[in-house]
Structure 1
Amino acid sequence: MCDMKLREKISEYGDRLGMEIYTTQELFSILTGVDADNFGKNDEMQVSNIMLNPEVISGIGKKKAMQIKAVYELSVRMAEHDKRNFGIHGPKDVEIFASPRMKYLQVEHFAVMHLNTKNQVIGFETISEGGLSSTVVHPREVFLSAIKHHSASIILVHNHPSGGLLPSKEDIAITGRLVKSGGILDIPVLDHVIIGNGYCSMKEKGYIPHR
């Protein structure tokens, strides 16, 4: 159960001062009933790892793990909703939008960011999930998603679970194939951004021609 110090804090302040008075560990403790100290250091990596893998924490069973994962998914969806029509002016904007969902994933995910004629985000869809080193992507799924969202253009996004940013041969080959397909369908691929410890723009690296 929650430790005595936290119970006293909850009892003393209640909801009078708002939830921002609690540390991140204390918020996890309130949610699960597990001692706050079990959640370790309060930094971005630790919090994200807890949200994605709560089972590694002492005292967290399957039900509590599902509660934490549900909170994580809700927070990501709310953030994405707030970023609807978020303008994309370069790869840094892509990272800002996509990193909360993709940066700490344990396996490689390939997603498509859908843009309108003003380069505003109108959709973001995961197309494929793969192993740690590769994921299978077919133009059919990518552009079916683009057509469904009425995209004027798209940006490809995938994560490297290792944190590395160097494009693989497969990354380069897939990018070239999808750029050609987009040219035929008149749905241009503006960039392919790799999310890891930072980001890598394959357009900046010269793998996608400047329009």
Structure 2
Amino acid sequence: MRITKYRTELDTNRHNVLVKESAVNYACDSLNNPAAIATMFNSVFGLNRMAEEYVYMLSFSTAFKVLGAFEISHGSIRASLISPREIFIRLLLSGAASFVICHNHPSGICIPSGEDISMTKRLKKCADLMGVQFTDHIIMGDSYYSFQEHKLL
């Protein structure tokens, strides 16, 4: 499978457009469970080794094919700010039917913070309104924590 990372830029009319940053071949046929997604983020993006918090997103087609990977935010050792607006711009531009958010905790402890829980709830409400399935929010550290596996999504 090919994992393509995109960023957004403004075109000459100041409209958001997707721009390909990089692409890697990843030796896996599908990313259809939290463990597989966590493994990919560690292998391709080194998320479990980052010294600050990073927030990434994968967008998927209706057949759960990866459409794109996006760095949403890069924060400090304790926090990374995200905005639903920035997430949904990328989802709509990529034609996504569903998405997964993944971010790291540099401490290695994967327990969700209060902010993680409230942002997940906020994104779920936005996703429901937009008709895009919010499949999972995965926290990376020494292992991983899946909101889906813990029945919080």
Q: So what's the TM-score if we normalise by structure 1?
A: 0.58
Residue by residue over 1:81-115, the C-alpha shift from the partner in whole angstroms, topping out at 9 and shown as x without a partner, is 21399522210111121113111111001111111
How far apart are the structure 2 equivalents of 1:114 and 1:186? 14
Residue 140, structure 1, aligned to residue 85, structure 2: yes
Distance change >3 Å, CA 201–CA 91, structure 1 → 2: same
Query: Is 2:94 the counterpart of 1:149?
Result: yes
5+ residue gaps in structure 2?
1-21
Give SS of 1:103's match. helix
Match of 1:120 among 58, 65, 70: 65
Q: Partner of 2:117 in structure 1?
A: 172
Q: Deviations over 1:169-193 (max 9, x none)?
A: 0000010000110111111110001
1:194 correspondence with 2:100: no
Question: What is the CA distance between 1:161 and its match in structure 2?
Answer: 0.8
1:93 to 36, 56, 60: 36
Asked whether the equivalents of residues 87 and 118 of structure 1 are also in contact (C-alpha less than 8 Å), the reply is no
- Alpha-carbon separation, structure 2, partners of 1:93 and 1:117: 18
Distance 2:81 2:29 in 1: 28
Letter paired with 1:134: A
Kindly report the root-mean-square deviation, in angstroms, between the aligned alpha carbons of the 2 structures.
Answer: 1.6
Q: TM-score, normalised by structure 2?
A: 0.80
Percent sequence identity over matched residues? 28
Equivalence map 1:16-55=2 (5 Å): none
CA distance in 2, matches of 1:124, 1:86: 16
* Mapped partners of 2:40, 2:89: distance in 1: 22
* Greater percentage in strand: 2
Written as runs of structure 1 = structure 2, the 5 A alignment for 1:56-67 is none
Aligned to 1:184: 129
SS of the counterpart of 1:146? helix
Q: Is the 8 A contact 1:83 1:121 kept in 2?
A: no
- Bigger helix share: 1
Instruction: Look up the match of 1:25.
Output: none
**Any runs of at least 4 consecutive aligned residues in structure 1 with deviations exceeding 6 A, and if so which?**
none
- CA distance change for structure 1 residues 86 and 112 in 2, over 3 Å: closer, same or farther? farther
- The alignment partner of 1:81 has SS state of strand
Task: Answer 1 or 2: higher relative contact order, Cα 8 Å, separation at least 6.
Answer: 2
**1: CA distance between counterparts of 2:55 and 2:109?**
16
For 1:114, what is the secondary structure of its paired residue?
strand
Which consecutive unaligned segments of at least 5 residues does structure 1 have? 1-76
Once the 2 structures are TM-superposed, how far is the Cα of residue 131 of structure 1 from its aligned partner? 1.2
The separation in 2 between residues aligned to 1:96 and 1:119, in whole angstroms, is 17
